[in-house]
Structure 1
Amino acid sequence: MSKKKTIGTIRFELRKGVRGENGKLPVSLIYSIKGNRKRFSLDQTILSEYWDAKEQRAFYIPQREAKRKLNHLPVNQLLTEIEINEINDILDSVEIDIKAIEDKFLALSIPFSSQTVIDALISKKPDAFKVEEKTDLVFDYIDRYIVEHEASREAGSLSVYKSIKNHLKAYQDATNHKVTFEGIDYSFFNKFQNFLIKRTKTDKAGNINPMLNNTTIAKALSTLKTFLTYAKKEGVKVNDSFRDFTIKREKLEVIALEQNELQNLIDFDLSNNKRLDKVRDIFVFACATGLRFSDVQQLKAEHLDNESINIVVKKTKTALTVPLNIFSAGILEKYSELNKPLPTISNQKLNEYIKELCELAGIAKQIEIVRFFGKKRIVTTYPKFELISFHTARKTFVTLSLERGMSAEEVMTISGHEDYKSFKRYVNITEKRKKVVMLKAWGAPKERKLKVV
């Protein structure tokens, strides 16, 4: 993380003329403005062997090397990497506090000197900077992860990291258990999972309900694992035992249109409703191509030729070619006079109108949704149109393509699915697929007469 520059000059150094216990030297802050220097002694001492004068920070010496270099010291007095990090965290916090003090003086238009800044610092830190683990380190790294990936990731995909940060802060507040990289181990994951299961919210009627279902909790835990792996690659020391924690995932329903429902939608008379007619065309186009909303939205004339759509997928940043078919080509032809290949509607409005459209078209089959909140099983029944969103089109493309006899590999190359693990839940979605692929591979049986007993 880049440090914000202060107005004054900050230096940390060891006071070599003053030796304490076991030859340790006190760490001093030297702060100056326009040549006016003030020295402030921090409540930190360290052996000179652990100090990098150029970097003005402590550095870790592996235990084996430290035993050789500092053989006059008992092993229990050698500094661990955690202790080194704690000292450096204190020095970092001093710099941050000085910057905040300077900013406050500037905001209030109050002149300040090196002495007034040091006085404010002493007032802010009456305990003279006793070693205390920096509790917001994990949260800072989550913020850093979000900032560093804003340019390369969709906002929606980063929102899960903001969510996990909020859950971790809630856990820390509720349990008074500091959330640190070293502390996030196998045991932590068990406790954190139980905490998420027990979280509740109060509805408008005053009823207390579980806040998160098991599916959402599994996603949060998976996100935390991904983040810890990222932090480790960045050089942060994490507790590897978190990898042993197994996340239990429940099988989710795949909401997709059946062939007759899609055909009813295509045939539905919307001659008197231009708004829903456009919505239908965009939705059916996605059903026939498997494109996500972000890719339909970015579609331009240069992405099209007579046979296919050629784009770089926004989510994965990979090149994708989608062959045109009778449905997708027909819709593009309908809007050929527009500046863009398709009409433009916001995602929020599109999802709202799709539900309205599907209700009008009679797509109202009752769908049972099962969710678990801890051990509690909750079953809710919805008319199908309430569960349909734009993303349903992508699921429809996959399921109907499979039912029509396309192989999983063929569908994946068109839809852009790179991970079979996330794709395979579609493969056995309907019994119709079994019949289609059997007849394609082995031929249709002759009609046979059943013997009546």
Structure 2
Amino acid sequence: MEKKYKIHFYLKSGDGEQIIYIMFSVLGKRFKFSTGYKSKKEQWDNERERMINSSQFKQAENRQANKVNRFLDYLKDKTEEHINSVVWYKASDIDTVLLKRVLLGYINSYNKKEEEIEAKAKVTPITYFQNYISNMDKVIIKRTGTFASKGTITNHKIVLSRFSDFIKDRGYQDSFSIFNKYFEDNLAHYLLTVKEYTMNTVCATNSIMKVWLNKALQEGLITDTTFKSWKTKGNDVEHIYLNDNELQLIYSIDFTDELKTQYKIDLKSNIEQTRDLFIVACRLGLRLGDWGRLSSSEWNFEENTVIINTSKTQERVIIPLSKEVKAIYKKYAGKFPRPVYKSHLNKQLQKCGEIAHIDSDVYLIRRKGGVAKQKSYKKYQLISSHTARRSFATNLYLKCKNAKLVMTFTGHKTEENFFKYICIDKKETADIAQQYFE
């Protein structure tokens, strides 16, 4: 169909900023509407009917000119689209009121989208990540049907602190535009060389940041998706476990005032309670998050079991009771003490190992600052809350040689991951295999 109209934009006469109008004639009628946008006379090109972007104007003025020109292009296209449809179906007349209403709808729709874009542009990663973390205890995780645990929220806060340090130290803008194909390498280099973290810490950082960025992608805050390929699995880390004899040495410690004084332990210290919780965890295979659930668990001494609802997976696990666990239960009449903060707890456990003379030399390969080095430790220096669960799994496996059985307690889904988890050295592996060589 032959086009019988032409759309013009012109600036209202006068000094200072003036309204930009759209004007056109169609089917013998002349139409003129305000676009709602303004321009200065000196920045308006009458021939092009657009605002001027030039070095003679400030950057902010040029950005505004680009914004207005994009809008005028949009409005022209939408106006032509509407006129063509009207002329096609009703060539004899055009409804002025309806046309004005339609154009106003286009203008409002465009402005709303622009406001949304500008609002998103004002959202910074740090603010967005902070808001995400603050709402974690209010949003149910689909995979587990539960809210995020305090430990998970703490891990997110730690990663946010690392990210904040990174952009501050590197002088990066707090903007989603920094998440490009170079970001992963830049962050890893900073964490490895400046902070001297291990590669596993880098991968753990990436894993949490990917959660945030996936959410940001869904909300249209970023378009670059290279973060989806970030490395989130680190190297297998060597850990220790405590055998039954070593656990018995720790369990047998008598925390007298004399002993506390000898090892420079505060006389009011709750190290004995921490030791007791650790022994229970070693015999039940508990994660640290479940230590505080002991008092509310289902203890059945007739069947010699306890049922624990695990905090991480929300699974009900039935575990047989050892004599040490039953003795400690009786000691506290079923009202177990609450565990202390993790860093303090680990120091107390290492002190227990030192008192029990669990001081054999352990040589481990540690990757730090991007460099792998062998380092020597006394075994007690490596004891932590997680040693309990690894000790449970390793000791039980060495007794029964049945991975499937142990996995029913640890929750591992594959034997591959299970065998990465337990701590069996080469000599113990040889001892297990000895029966096949006789």
Picking from 307, 311, 320, the partner of 2:308 is 311
Count of matched residue pairs? 339
Picking from 379, 389, 412, the partner of 1:394 is 389
User: Which has the larger helix fraction?
Assistant: 2
Tell me which residue corresponds to 1:54.
none
CA-based RMSD: 4.3
**TM-score relative to the length of structure 1:** 0.61
Q: Shift in Å at residue 217 of structure 1?
A: 2.0
Give me the whole-angstrom Cα distance separating, in 1, the residues matched to 2:228 and 2:169: 25
Picking from 403, 407, 418, the partner of 1:412 is 407
In the alignment, is the contact (CA less than 8 A) between 1:181 and 1:238 conserved in 2? no
Letter of the aligned partner of 1:327 in structure 2?
Answer: K
Letter of the aligned partner of 2:129 in structure 1?
Answer: I
Does residue 1:335 correspond to 2:334, yes or no? no
Letter of the aligned partner of 1:88 in structure 2?
Answer: E
Higher mean displacement: 225-234 or 138-147: 225-234
Tell me which residue corresponds to 1:227.
212
Give me the whole-angstrom Cα distance separating, in 2, the residues matched to 1:323 and 1:370: 34
Q: 1:288-437 counterparts in 2 under 5 A? A: 288-300=283-295, 303-306=298-301, 307-316=304-313, 318-327=314-323, 329-335=325-331, 337=333, 340=335, 342-348=336-342, 350-417=345-412, 423-427=418-422, 429-431=424-426, 434=429
Q: Shift in Å at residue 435 of structure 1?
A: 5.2
Give me the whole-angstrom Cα distance separating, in 2, the residues matched to 1:383 and 1:86: 62
Give me the whole-angstrom Cα distance separating, in 1, the residues matched to 2:126 and 2:293: 34
Tell me which residue corresponds to 1:98.
none
Q: 1:48-59 counterparts in 2 under 5 A? A: none
Give me the whole-angstrom Cα distance separating, in 1, the residues matched to 2:274 and 2:350: 10
Structure 1 spans left out of the alignment, 5+ residues:
1-15, 29-41, 52-64, 73-82, 94-132, 200-209, 446-453
Does residue 1:253 correspond to 2:246, yes or no? no
Give me the whole-angstrom Cα distance separating, in 1, the residues matched to 2:81 and 2:402: 65
Picking from 136, 161, 166, the partner of 2:161 is 166
Tell me which residue corresponds to 2:21.
19
Tell me which residue corresponds to 1:156.
151
* Cα 1:373/1:430, change in 2 over 3 Å: closer
Letter of the aligned partner of 2:340 in structure 1?
Answer: S
Q: Shift in Å at residue 257 of structure 1?
A: 0.8
Give me the whole-angstrom Cα distance separating, in 2, the residues matched to 1:258 and 1:388: 12
Structure 2 spans left out of the alignment, 5+ residues:
1-17, 25-32, 39-62, 85-109, 139-146, 260-268
* Cα 1:226/1:271, change in 2 over 3 Å: same
Picking from 121, 125, 131, the partner of 1:138 is 125
In the alignment, is the contact (CA less than 8 A) between 2:291 and 2:338 conserved in 1? no
Letter of the aligned partner of 2:383 in structure 1?
Answer: I
Tell me which residue corresponds to 2:250.
265
Q: Shift in Å at residue 289 of structure 1?
A: 0.3
Question: Percent identity between the aligned chains?
Answer: 21
Q: Shift in Å at residue 290 of structure 1?
A: 0.9
Letter of the aligned partner of 1:311 in structure 2?
Answer: I
Listed one character per residue, the Cα deviations across residues 370-427 of structure 1 (whole Å, up to 9, x for unaligned) are 3333443344422222221222111211221222235333323213446767544124
* Cα 1:351/1:188, change in 2 over 3 Å: closer
In the alignment, is the contact (CA less than 8 A) between 1:311 and 1:321 conserved in 2? yes
Q: Shift in Å at residue 84 of structure 1?
A: 9.0
The structure having more radius of gyration, on CA atoms, is: 2
SS of the equivalent of 1:404 reads: helix
SS of the equivalent of 1:377 reads: strand
In the alignment, is the contact (CA less than 8 A) between 1:289 and 1:328 conserved in 2? no
Q: Shift in Å at residue 50 of structure 1?
A: 7.3
